Structure 1
Amino acid sequence: MQLVFQSAFRLAFRLFAASFALSFAAWHSAHAATPQRFQDLQVEVVGEGRPVLMIPGLNSAGETWAETCAALQGDRVQCHIVTLPGFAGLPSARDANKDAWLADMRDRLLAYVDARKLKHPVVMGHSLGGFLAMEMAIRQPATFDRVVIVDTLAFLGAVQNAAATAESVKPAAEGMRTRMLSQDEASYRAGVSATLKGLVHDPRRVETLTTWGNASDRAITAEAMYEMMTIDLRGSLDQIRAPTLVLGAWAAYAPYGATKESTAALYRAQYAKLDGVRIEMSEGGYHFLMWDDPQWLQQQVREFIAAK
């Protein structure tokens, strides 16, 4: 059982430990807007038209979504591209009155939507960002017009053990969090670098990803991972009212026996309670589908948000 948990957490770290960024040059060549701050969130607003809130993943900067946003500009889309506090060099922020970091980020994002008067926006999230998108749509079902989830599961703890519960994985998750916080700096950074392999096709991205990972707040990273491992959203998915698209990846796990169909079956099981969910699998993209399979992802998103 311990080996199963260790394997699950290694997979978790590979899935969620580095959604970091494109280069600054690529980002600023496509965007001229000045980022704004809202409750310690950093948000860059690009374009005019239908609002799309774009949330990157663990340790990620908003630059993750740069190419996707640029591709949607012909469809009159206004991107609201988020970087969460504590990730990719952005100063961390914790609400002393809240124990749960994810719930705090969910509420800040919902407050942003309300304060900016975004009318029936699309919410799109990658990895941990997809998890937050689900939490937001569960919390306020009438707020969102569409939900797009990129390579995210509703309960990561059940990846290798379908019978796992949020309670049963807590001891292993607590051990993972403790190890992350107690490591010396060199060991922690080596662990971050090791998790990056298999997340993206282009090896030139790895140095950039490592830089952003090392610039993230370790305590926030550890807490976010712990919460993602121990929160099970599967039973609450029936509260989501907006049409939902889930885009999944499987190819990075082919050496471990995964197939496109077996991974699709895992996604279908995880999202079984979400009525009408549409699940699509990339043919060969790894975790960063917006980089590895950009035309496919962009077309999937474009068609989905344009559908009546």
Structure 2
Amino acid sequence: MKMVLAMYYAMKAAARLAMIGMAMAVLGSGSAHAAAAVPTAAGTGKVQVEVLGKGRPVLMIPGLNSSAEVWRETCRALKDVQCHLVQLPGFAGARAADPRPADFLSAMRDELLAYVQDRRLEKPAVIGHSLGGVLALQMAVKAPAAVGPLVIVDSLPFYAAIQNPQATAQSVQPMAEQMRTGMLAADAASYRAQADAALAGMTTDPARLPELQRWGRDSDRATTADAMYSLLVTDLRSEVAGIRSPTRVLGAWAAYQAFGATEASTRAIFQAQYAALPGVEIAMSAAGHHFLMWDDPQWLRGQVQTFLDSHR
């Protein structure tokens, strides 16, 4: 387990990106919104959604092992929106899917698209962080006419290519399977210690760490392992060419400044991975780490509000 995690985090550090990992994580103030509806399929091991406010529908997807709470502050700060806060099964205490889906990401993508259709949401904007960003991209790839503007927060179409741009989904499959096997086989103490340690560099606010750690401990280990495996073998670099939604990507780089990263070098990684996405806009936070909604909230909210206002 330790070797597998060390290999994965070395890959992240080498790429100077504070992205996803075994980091049990992912995750925003203003006028309050009143709750309009609460979880669909609550307690069933399916995607749950809480609806807040009135206005333009915005689907907000958290990332690996995160609670839907991660987006609540951001939601409250946005104007004229109806937030649909997504809770993915198996994360942060939500019941895991049973049976486990053959592929976590594609199963979650299909549930989210079904939710959009069932609720008759007209081209909702979709905001996704980390793993949630990949899900947002997948939704727009599979059903380009069903979703509106996309805001992708610190996420890439193919994480395995951070280290090696020549990597393919097939070539990284053995490493991804090794990592999943190691995660499932680790004893509880080792698993918890590695997960807790991995979170330290994900946010600039140490007061947030206990919550992140609690979400990780409350997450179903098999779901986390399946989600990470699915993420590592998913390559959307060419598929994003079929997306028709206006897209703004918000990136983070400051966490790896000590390793020699610059805004320009990190932006270049994002530009290379999103090269096929028509009209994509890429903006980089000057200060935030992976959890931009906590570390650089005013910047993130301004980016989101301006983008949504310009694409109605």
State the alpha-carbon separation in 1 of the partners of residues 211 and 94 from structure 2.
16
**Partners of 2:66 and 2:278 in 1: how far apart?**
30
Distance 1:21 1:8, change over 3 A: closer
Residue 35 of structure 1 and its aligned partner are, at CA, apart by 2.5
Aligned: 1:93 with 2:97:
yes
8 Å CA contact retained: 1:141, 1:241: yes
TM-aligned CA deviation for residue 76 of structure 1: 1.2
**Residue in structure 2 matched with residue 141 of structure 1 by the alignment:** 144
Q: Is residue 42 from structure 1 mapped to residue 45 from structure 2 by the alignment?
A: no
Unaligned runs of 5+ in 1: none
Aligned to 1:196: 199
Q: Does 1:15 align with 2:20?
A: yes
Query: What corresponds to 1:66 in structure 2?
Result: 72
The more displaced of 143-152 and 159-168 is 159-168
- C-alpha distance in structure 2 between counterparts of 1:166 and 1:229, whole Å: 7
| Deviation (angstroms), 1:19 | 3.0
Distance 1:279 1:193, change over 3 A: same
What is the CA deviation profile of residues 28-85 of structure 1, one whole-angstrom value per residue up to 9, with x for unaligned ones?
x86645532237222110011100000000001111101110011xx21000000101
Equivalent AA in structure 2 for residue 131 of structure 1: V
Q: How far apart in 2 are the matches of 1:168 and 1:4? A: 16
Contact 2:18 2:255 (8 Å CA) reproduced: no
1:80 aligns with 2:61: no
**SS state of the match for residue 36, structure 1?**
coil
- In 1, Cα distance between equivalents of 2:80 and 2:37: 20
Deviation of the 1:162 alpha carbon: 1.4
Q: Offset of 1:271 from its aligned partner?
A: 0.1
What SS does the aligned partner of 1:167 have? helix
**Contact in 1 for aligned 2:33/2:53 (Cα 8 Å):** no
Query: What is the CA distance between 1:95 and its match in structure 2?
Result: 4.8
Per the alignment, residue 120 of structure 1 pairs with 123
1:118–1:43 Cα change, 3 Å: same
CA deviation profile, 1:233-287 (whole Å, cap 9, x unmatched): 0010111001000000000111222111100000000000001000000001000
C-alpha RMSD over aligned residues:
2.2
**2:285 counterpart letter in structure 1:** S
Asked whether the equivalents of residues 35 and 51 of structure 2 are also in contact (C-alpha less than 8 Å), the reply is no
TM-score by length of 1: 0.91
Equivalent residue letter for 1:81: L
**Contact (CA 8 Å) 1:177, 1:223: kept in 2 or not?**
yes
Judging changes above 3 Å, is the alpha-carbon distance between structure 1 residues 195 and 134 closer, same or farther for their aligned structure 2 residues? same
Counterpart Cα distance in 2 of 1:58 and 1:34:
24
Q: Counterparts of 2:129 and 2:145 in 1: how far apart (Å)? A: 22
Deviates more, 1:166-175 or 1:79-88: 166-175
Contact preservation (8 Å) 1:238, 1:273: yes
**Residues 72-105 of structure 1: CA distance to partner in whole angstroms, max 9, x if unpaired?**
1xx2100000010100000001456x51111111
Matched residue of 2:282: which SS? strand
Q: Distance in 1 between matches of 2:65 and 2:8?
A: 23
Correspondence for 1:226: 229
**Change beyond 3 A, Cα 1:114–1:4:** same
**Following TM superposition, by how much is the alpha carbon of 1:292 offset from its aligned partner in structure 2, in angstroms?**
0.5
Alpha-carbon separation, structure 1, partners of 2:283 and 2:9: 28
Specify the SS of the correspondent of 1:297: helix
Question: Structure 2 length normalisation: TM-score?
Answer: 0.90
Q: How does 1:219-298 map to 2 (within 5 A)?
A: 219-298=222-301
Give % identity.
52
- Matched-pair contact (CA < 8 Å) for 1:122–1:147: yes
Change (3 A) 1:286 1:13: closer
